[in-house]
Structure 1
Amino acid sequence: MTIYGYARVSTTDQDLTIQEQTLAAAGCTVIRSEKVSGSSTSGRKELQTLLAFLQRGDVLVVTRIDRLARSIADLQTIMMELKAKGAALRCTEQPVDTSTAAGKAFLDMLGVFAEFETNLRRERQMEGIAKAKADGRYKGRKPTARNQATEVQALMEQGMSATEIASRLGISRASVYRCKDAAEPA
Structure 2
Amino acid sequence: MSSIGYARVSTAGQDTASQVARLKAAGCDIVREEKASGKSRDGRSELETILSFVRPGDTLVVVKLDRLGRSTRDVLNLVHELDQKGAALRVLEPEISTAGPMGKVMLTVLGMVAEMELGFIKERQKAGIEKAKAEGVYKGRPITLDHSKVKALHAEGIGATAIAKQMGCSRGAVYKVLNQ
Q: TM-score range by the shorter chain?
A: 0.7 to 0.9
Change (3 A) 1:133 1:102: same
In structure 1, the residue matched to 2:21 is: 21
Between Structure 1 and Structure 2, whose CA radius of gyration is higher?
A: 1
How far the C-alpha of 1:148 sits from its partner, in A, is 5.0
Where structure 1 has 5 or more consecutive residues not aligned to the other structure, the ranges are 154-176
How far the C-alpha of 1:37 sits from its partner, in A, is 1.5
Q: 2:107 & 2:99 partners in 1: Cα distance?
A: 11
Structure 1 residue runs of 4 or more that deviate by more than 4 Å after TM superposition? 150-153, 180-183
How far the C-alpha of 1:152 sits from its partner, in A, is 9.3
Change (3 A) 1:85 1:144: same
> TM-score scaled to structure 1, two decimals?
0.78
How far the C-alpha of 1:179 sits from its partner, in A, is 2.0
Encode CA deviations 1:19-78: one digit per residue, 9 max, x unaligned.
Answer: 101111111111110111212221111111111111111110001111111111101110
Encode CA deviations 1:74-131: one digit per residue, 9 max, x unaligned.
Answer: 0111011111111000112222111112211111111011101111111111111111
Contact 1:95 1:103 in 2 (8 A): no
**RMSD of aligned Cα (Å):** 2.5
How far the C-alpha of 1:146 sits from its partner, in A, is 5.0
In structure 2, the residue matched to 1:179 is: 167
Change (3 A) 1:55 1:148: farther
> TM-score scaled to structure 2, two decimals?
0.81
Q: Any idea what SS the aligned residue of 1:107 has?
A: helix
In structure 1, the residue matched to 2:178 is: none
Where structure 2 has 5 or more consecutive residues not aligned to the other structure, the ranges are 154-164, 175-180
Amino acid at match of 1:48: E
